[in-house]
Amino acid sequence: MNGPWREPAEETIGLYPHLVVHDGRQSGSITFGRTRLPIWAPQWELVDLDDYTHPDDPEDEWREAGEAFVRHVLDMRGEFARLLLVLAAAEEKEEDARDVIIDRLDDGSGLVDITDVDLPSWWNTPEMVEPVIDQLRRCLAVLGASEVEP
Q: How far apart are CA 143 and CA 35, in angstroms?
A: 28
Phi and psi for 12 in degrees, rounded to 5?
A: -115, 115
Segment 129-137 shows an average pLDDT of 96
Q: State which H helix or E strand residue 15 sits in.
A: strand 11-16
pLDDT recorded at residue 66: 78
Q: Which of the four pLDDT bands, split at 50, 70 and 90, describes residue 147?
A: low
If one counts every other C-beta atom within 10 angstroms of the C-beta of residue 138, the result is 20
Q: Which of the four pLDDT bands, split at 50, 70 and 90, describes residue 55?
A: low
pTM of the shown model? 0.81
| Helix/strand number for the chain, H first, E second | 4, 3
Q: CB of 140 within 8 A of CB of 128?
A: no
Segment 81-85 shows an average pLDDT of 97
pLDDT recorded at residue 124: 93
| Contacts of residue 112, Cβ cutoff 8 Å, sequence gap at least 6 | 102, 105, 106
**148 pLDDT above the threshold of 80:** no
Q: How far apart are CA 12 and CA 41, in angstroms?
A: 20
